[in-house]
Amino acid sequence: MGKIHELSEILSNQIAAGEVIERPASVVKELAENAIDANSTQIDIVIEQAGLQLVQVIDNGDGIEPDDVSTAFKRHATSKITTRQDLFKIQSLGFRGEALASIASVSDLTIETATANSLGTFAHFKGGILQTQKTSPIRPGTAITVRDLFFNTPARLKYVKTFQTELANVIDIVNRLAMSHPQIAFTLTNDDHLLMKTAGNDDLQQTIAGIYGVTMAKQLLSISAEDLDFKLTGYVSLPQLTRASRNYLSIMINGRYIKNYQLNKAIIKGYGSKLMVGRYPVAVLNIQMDPLLIDVNVHPTKQEVRLSKEPALMTLIEKAIYGRLRTENLIPDAVQNL
C-alpha cells in the first residue's frame, strides 16, 4: 500500500489560502476586486478591528445565480476565463478562481447574493464547509461577510501584526482600488468610523482629493501621453510636493494596481534633478495597453506583472512627466535632454 494520497479539498484550499490570503487586507482586496469585476458602481467596505474581527464587502454588481453559489467557492472555479487563449488577454482583475475558496477555508463566511433575474441566495461556510444555503430576499448585488479570519490557522494568525499595521494595509489597498476605478463610489468604515469615501463620478482628481485631501489634489498636474502601444493618463505632483516614501506612487495597468520598481524609477526620472535625495513625488498613473503585452499570471496576488515592452513604457512615462513639468516652466530646458 503506497504512502502517497491526494489532499482533501479543504486542506488544499487552506494551503492555497497561505499564498493569497496573508492578512485582512488580502481579504478586502480579493472581495473588492470581485465586486469591481461584477460591474458594481457602489462598493461599501466595513471592517472591525482592522478586519481581524470582521470584513464585509457589499456591492451592487451582477450577483451570483443560486445554482452557481456553491461552485463559486470551489477552488479554480471562475466565470472569468474559459480557454487557454483567455489567459493571454485578461481583462478582469480575477481569473484564478482561488479567492473565495481560500477565504472561506480560513474563516467563518456568509454570502448574500442575487442577480437581477434570480432569487437571492444566503449561504454560510465555516472553515470552508457549507453549513447552510437558502433563498434570501436581497436586492441585486452581493454582500460577503468574513468573521474570525485565520481561526483555524493559528500560525498565520500569529503572524498578523498590530491593528495599526493591518489597518494601514487595508486603507492602502482600498485607496489604490478607488484610484484605479474613479467611476466606482467606495466607502471604507472601520469600527464605525468612516475612513474614506469617493464620489464615483469618474473624476480622478476628485477621487484623489477624497483620498489624499483637497490640498494635495490641488497641487497635481494632469498628464497624458500616448504611443502605438500605451495610453497614459493621470496626475503627478508639482516638484515641491514630495513625500519621504515611494508609497504615493500608484501605477495602474488596465485598471489593476501593480507594483513595479522600474516604472516607479521612470516617474522619478521624469522630475530630472528637481527632487531632493530621499524625496518622492505623488503620482497616480493609469495606463491602458493591449492585455497581450502584460502577463499578470506571475504571482497569486497579481500585483507583480511582466511587461513585454517595459523600456518603451518607461520612456513614455518619463517623457510625459518631464514634458509636462517643462511646459509649466518647472524644469529648465538644460536640466535634461530627452
Cell of 275: 527632487
What part of residues 132-151 is at the interface with ligand ADP (CB under 6 A)? 142
61 touches Mg ion by CB under 5 A? no
Indicate whether 72 belongs to the interface with ligand ADP (CB under 6 A).
Answer: yes
Residue 13 CB, shortest distance to ligand ADP, in Å, is 10
At 249 the three-state DSSP class reads: strand
- Name the 3-class secondary structure at 118: coil
Say how many residues touch Mg ion, by CB under 5 A.
3
Nearest residue to 257 (alpha-carbon basis) of 32, 70, 6, 9: 32
Q: Is the dihedral of CA 136, 137, 143, 148 positive or negative?
A: negative
From CA 334, how far away is CA 338, in angstroms rounded? Answer: 10
Which one, 100 or 266, has the nearer CB to ligand ADP?
100
Interface characters, 98-127, with ligand ADP (x: CB under 6 A)? xxxx--------------------------
User: Which of 34, 56, 102, 190 is close enough to bind Mg ion by CB under 5 A?
Assistant: 34
Amino acid at 304: E
Strand, helix or coil at 7? Answer: coil
**182 binding ligand ADP? (CB under 6 A):** no
Contact positions with ligand ADP (CB under 6 A) in 276-335: none
β-bridge pairing 185-190 and 42-48: parallel
Nearer CB in complex with ligand ADP: 87/330:
87
- Total residues belonging to the chain: 338
CA atoms of 227 and 116, how far apart (whole Å):
40
What's the min distance (Å) between Cβ of 50 and ligand ADP?
22
List interacting residues with ligand ADP (CB under 6 A). 30, 34-35, 38, 59, 61-64, 72, 77-80, 94-101, 142
List interacting residues with Mg ion (CB under 5 A). 34, 94, 99
